[in-house]
Structure 1
Amino acid sequence: MDFDFSDDQEQLRDAVRRWVDRSYTFERRRAAVKAGGFDRTTYGELAELGLAGLYVPEDQGGMGMGPVEAMVVMEELGRGMVLEPLGQTLIASGVLGAYAPQDLQDAWLPRIASGDALVVLAHQERRARWRLDVSETQATESGGAWQLSGTKSLVPAGDEADAFLVPAMAQGRLALFLVEQGGGVHASGYVTQDGSRAAEVKFDKAPATLVAQDGLPALEHAVDIGIAALCAEAVGVIDKTMALTADYMNTRKQFGVPIASFQALRHRMADMKMQQELARSMSYYASLKLNAPAEERRRAMARAKYQLNVAMRFVGQNSVQLHGGIGVTDEYIGSHYFKKLTQMELTFGDTLHHLGEVSSRMQDTAGVFA
Structure 2
Amino acid sequence: MNFEFSDDEQQLSEAVQRWVERGYGFERRTAIARAGGFSAEAWGEIAELGLLGLGTSEDDGGMAMGPVAAMLALEALGRGLVLEPVAAVALVAASVMAQAPADVRANWAPRIASGEARVVLAYQERAARYKLNRVDTKATQAGDAWTLSGTKSLVTIGDQADAFIVSARVSGAADDAAGIALFLVERGASGVKTQGYALQDGSRAAEVTLADSPATLLVAAGPAFAALELAIDIGIAALAAEAVGAMDKLFELTVDYLNTRKQFGVAIGTFQALRHRLADMKMQLELARSMSYYATLKLGEAPDVRRRAVAQAKVQLGNSARFLGQQAIQLHGGIGMTDEYIGSHYFKRLTTMEMQFGDTMHHIGEVSARMLDTAGVFA
Which range, TM-score by smaller chain?
Answer: over 0.9
User: Is 2:99 the counterpart of 1:92?
Assistant: no
Aligned-partner Cα distance in 2 for 1:297–1:67:
13
Task: Look up the match of 2:176.
Answer: none
Task: Look up the match of 1:281.
Answer: 290
Task: Look up the match of 2:130.
Answer: 130
Partner deviation per Cα, 1:117-173 (whole Å, 9 max, x = no partner): 011111111110110000111100012111110001111100000011111111221
After TM superposition, give the deviation of residue 48 of structure 1 in Å.
0.9
Task: Look up the match of 1:350.
Answer: 359
After TM superposition, give the deviation of residue 196 of structure 1 in Å.
0.5
User: Is 2:299 the counterpart of 1:325?
Assistant: no
Opposite residue 204 of structure 1, the aligned amino acid is: A
SS in 1 for 2:194: strand
Task: Look up the match of 2:45.
Answer: 45
Opposite residue 8 of structure 1, the aligned amino acid is: D
Alignment of 1:121-270 (within 5 A): 121-172=121-172, 173-182=179-188, 183-213=190-220, 214=222, 215-270=224-279
SS in 1 for 2:214: strand
Aligned-partner Cα distance in 1 for 2:111–2:208:
22
Deviating above 4 A after TM superposition, structure 1's stretches of 4 or more consecutive aligned residues are none
Opposite residue 24 of structure 2, the aligned amino acid is: Y
Aligned-partner Cα distance in 2 for 1:219–1:64:
20
SS in 1 for 2:152: strand
Opposite residue 344 of structure 2, the aligned amino acid is: S
TM-score, normalising length: structure 2:
0.95
TM-score, normalising length: structure 1:
0.98
Unaligned ranges ≥5, structure 1:
none
Partner deviation per Cα, 1:98-122 (whole Å, 9 max, x = no partner): x211111111100001100011111
Instruction: Count matched residues.
Output: 368
After TM superposition, give the deviation of residue 41 of structure 1 in Å.
1.2
Unaligned ranges ≥5, structure 2:
173-178
Task: Look up the match of 2:101.
Answer: 101
Partner deviation per Cα, 1:349-368 (whole Å, 9 max, x = no partner): 11111001000011423259
Partner deviation per Cα, 1:75-105 (whole Å, 9 max, x = no partner): 00000000000011111112211x2111111
Opposite residue 217 of structure 1, the aligned amino acid is: A
SS in 1 for 2:127: coil
SS in 1 for 2:253: helix
Aligned-partner Cα distance in 2 for 1:288–1:334:
30
Opposite residue 321 of structure 1, the aligned amino acid is: Q
Alignment of 1:290-309 (within 5 A): 290-309=299-318
RMSD: 1.2
SS in 1 for 2:130: coil
SS in 2 for 1:52: helix
Partner deviation per Cα, 1:300-345 (whole Å, 9 max, x = no partner): 1101111111111111111001001100100000000010001001
> Which shows bigger deviation, 75-84 or 205-214?
205-214
Aligned-partner Cα distance in 2 for 1:367–1:56:
36
Alignment of 1:57-72 (within 5 A): 57-72=57-72
Name the CA shift for 1:289/1:367 in 2 (closer, same or farther; >3 Å): closer
Aligned-partner Cα distance in 2 for 1:211–1:222:
13
